Amino acid sequence: QVQLQESGPGLVKPSQTLHLTCTVSGASITTNHGYWSWVRQPPGKDLEWMGAIDSGGSAYYNPSLKSRTSISRDTSKNQFTLRLSSVIPEDTAVYYCACQAWGRLSTLARDYDYWGQGTQVTVSS
């Protein structure tokens, strides 16, 4: 059973950098073929794919967020991390980590096989 768990601050001030970590159990982020993604949902809006890292460590980003987003991993802890810089109030959302176990990289939520429970992040001074 693959399980994902997000962790990080619930409140971030504007212009600061948000760091979120996803801890994975039941699968290795290095040996299983697939993509490990970050997805967010602002209040009243649709899910938005932010980016992903594959089992080889290559990262992929939503072009609209690429200039502010970085995804990395700690293989010793089986974790991957989202870094979002220069946050603004519009970055307020529930942030999810998710796994697409098969196929080519997809930005569609329906193609993801496993999800974390999500963590609320609010950007406010």
Q: What is the pLDDT of residues 61-118, one digit of tens each?
A: 999 999 999 999 999 999 999 999 999 999 999 999 999 988 889 999 999 999 999 9
What is the predicted pLDDT for the residue at 32? Answer: 66
End-to-end CA separation in angstroms for the chain = 39
- Our measurement of the distance from residue 47's CA atom to the centroid of its chain's CA atoms, rounded to an integer in Å, reads 12
Average pLDDT of the chain to the nearest whole number: 95
Burial of 105 (0-12, 13-18, 19+ CB in 10 A): middle
